[in-house]
Amino acid sequence: MPCVFVAHERTPGETRVAATPETIRNMLKVGLEVRVAPGAGASAFIADSEFEAAGAKIASDLRAAYSEADVVLKVRELGRQDPLGNEVDLLKEGAIVIGFLAPYAHDATIRKMVERRITSLPMELVPRITRAQKMDALSSQASIAGYKAVLIAALNVPKYFPLLMTAAGTIKPARVLVMGAGVAGLQAIATAKRLGALVEATDIRPEVKEQVESLGGKFVDLPGLGDAGRGEGGYARELSAEVLAKQQAIVKEHVAAADVVITTALVPGRPAPKLVSADTVSKMRAGSVIVDLAVEQGGNCELSELGKEVRKHGVLIVGHANLPATMPFDASNLYARNVLALLQNILTKEGQLNIDPNDSVTGPTLLTHAGQCMHAPTAERLGLAPPAPPPPAEAAVAPAAAPAAAPPAVPPPIAAPGALPAVPPPVAAAGAPPAPGAPPAPAAAPGVPPPPPMPAPSAASSPVATAPPTPPPPPAAIGAASRSSAPPAPGAK
């Protein structure tokens, strides 16, 4: 049975954990063995006893837990586990690692994973397709960051968020500008509206306008950009210097009028675009607040500083990194479900691990596998051999269709004792007068030749007199039935 190890995060400030009692119970149901590092969930307020109650084992020997694990679940990238050393060296060859593994950084770690034939599945590379929605950890964590950014701003701005009508007069609502209407930005818009602020939002992707307005925000149009900012998978694309300058000029006056600015603009694998210049900050009112959610990738504000709150030109600029870690309980619950969904995707029905590069989720998510760097941009950056194309999946051959069974033979009807045999109705000879009481024969439709005459049956073939056959419907009725069932001719009304 495959063994899963839940590691204890050592990155400073990281409080989340990659599994919860809920997800561990689901792992055990599919036949996995689960071990958890002592204290792995303590910062997320999950005790070791809760993991044990769910069926996991608390690892007493961390070195053995790493070396025996088939799958290691992480929140952040592999790093040092003092006093054991680097986590990559602790893993057995061919092990699988799932987590936020920073594929656009930590080059030395990526090279080492290639050398040790580690299979790595960074949560950052999960494709944005319908099938992978429940694995999208970037979205689940960005939603928390957008929510928390508004609360931080509300605590620090020296005024109310909502409109207030008091005996002492009216208090105007705070003005909030959200830059970037991705998952974090949309959550920020929704939270600021709940607190009663006037909210504006801007984004280089014009298609998000409807989403902004559905949350009660006002969309700041950026005319002339067209599709310049639309990237793959719903992400924004890096703008040219000329287009970026045009965007800055348009939003400058909106920034200057805002009490709170929340910046969320990110481009995968690239430094964060600079949206708020130092000159723009100097135009803002004293006491205003900027919360820069892109600070870990360089920041959207020129004056942001990673991990610090600084005040420039009277404006407070908040550069807190890793805001999801400030809400570790819910952040861990959401993240653990994302990880579980990705883990289930690489399990067979029998509970065995199966890495399929042809899979629509596994393939794009792979960073390293079988001694190769599978992520082409990373391989190019590191000067490694480009990934070999995966072998084509074997096409399933449909079984030959069985020949259709012949319909069962219908036996002829059995005549009752003493009954006369059935006799076909007589056919009138050509030119013969109709039988007494029979309706006249219908006239032929115009342009339709009459049927050829039939020879009159002999007396021997018709020994029994029968009633005349029912005449066919008149031509008008036939034409009406045809018109009701046939499709209209082109151009017909």
**37: CATH:** 3.40.50.720
Active-site position among 133, 214, 352, 360: 133
Q: Is 492 exposed, middle or buried (0-12, 13-18, 19+ CB in 10 A)?
A: exposed
Cα(238)–Cα(235) distance, rounded to whole angstroms? 10
Q: Is residue 473 in some structural domain?
A: no
Tell me if 37 sits within 8 A of 6, measured CB to CB. Answer: yes
Q: Is residue 475 in some structural domain?
A: no
205 noted as active-site residue: no
Secondary structure class of 310 (helix, strand, coil): strand
- β-partners of residue 369 are 372
Q: Is residue 417 in some structural domain?
A: no
Active-site position among 128, 194, 230, 381: 128
Q: Is residue 455 in some structural domain?
A: no
pLDDT at residue number 206: 87
- β-partners of residue 315 are 312
Which run of H or of E encompasses 256? Answer: helix 241-257
Q: Is residue 482 in some structural domain?
A: no
Domain boundary among 382, 398, 414: 382
Please give the C-alpha separations between residue 259 and each of 50, 149, 248, in angstroms, as whole numbers: 44, 14, 18
Omega cis (within 30) before 83: yes
Cα(168)–Cα(154) distance, rounded to whole angstroms? 22
Secondary structure class of 351 (helix, strand, coil): coil
Both tokens of 144, joined, read 């928390």
Which run of H or of E encompasses 189? Answer: helix 183-194
Cβ burial 71-96 (10 Å sphere, 16+ → b, else e)? bbbbbbbbeebeeeeebbebbeeebb
Both tokens of 314, joined, read 């009277």
Cα(478)–Cα(490) distance, rounded to whole angstroms? 22
Range of the domain at 291: 144-321
The per-residue pLDDT for range 453-479, each reduced to its tens digit, is: 555 444 444 434 444 445 555 444 434
Give how many domains the chain has, as a whole number.
2
Q: Is residue 76 in some structural domain?
A: yes
Per-residue pLDDT of the chain (493 residues; tens, 9 = 90+): 999 999 999 899 999 999 999 999 999 999 999 999 999 999 999 999 999 999 999 999 999 999 999 999 999 999 888 788 999 999 999 999 999 999 998 999 999 999 999 999 999 999 999 999 999 999 999 999 999 999 999 999 999 999 999 999 999 999 999 999 999 999 999 999 999 999 999 998 888 999 999 999 999 988 766 555 555 555 555 556 777 677 777 889 999 999 999 999 998 888 999 999 999 999 999 999 999 999 999 999 999 999 999 999 999 999 999 999 999 999 999 999 999 999 999 999 999 999 999 999 999 999 999 999 999 999 999 999 888 777 665 544 445 455 555 555 555 555 555 555 555 555 554 445 555 555 555 555 555 555 555 554 444 444 344 444 455 554 444 344 444 444 444 444 4
Tell me if 373 sits within 8 A of 382, measured CB to CB. Answer: yes
Active-site position among 43, 81, 120, 139: 139
Q: Which amino acid is at 80?
A: R
Please give the C-alpha separations between residue 113 and each of 89, 103, 438, in angstroms, as whole numbers: 9, 12, 97
Secondary structure class of 274 (helix, strand, coil): coil
Active-site position among 235, 248, 344, 356: 235
Cα(46)–Cα(352) distance, rounded to whole angstroms? 28
What pTM, to 2 d.p., does this model score? Answer: 0.77
pLDDT at residue number 52: 98
Q: Is residue 438 in some structural domain?
A: no
Both 358 and 274 in one domain: the answer is no
368 DSSP assignment: E
Both 156 and 225 in one domain: the answer is yes
49 noted as active-site residue: no
356 noted as active-site residue: no
Active-site position among 35, 76, 81, 136: 136
Q: Is residue 209 in some structural domain?
A: yes
Please give the C-alpha separations between residue 131 and each of 86, 329, 420, in angstroms, as whole numbers: 34, 26, 72
Domain boundary among 288, 304, 321: 321
136 noted as active-site residue: yes
Both 8 and 103 in one domain: the answer is yes
The closest alpha carbon to 366, from 113, 9, 34, belongs to 113
Q: Residue 36 CB: number of other CB atoms within 10 A?
A: 29
Residue with tokens 């013969």: 432
230 noted as active-site residue: no
Residue with tokens 């029994």: 464
Secondary structure class of 369 (helix, strand, coil): strand
The per-residue pLDDT for range 74-86, each reduced to its tens digit, is: 999 998 887 889 9
Domain boundary among 302, 321, 340: 321
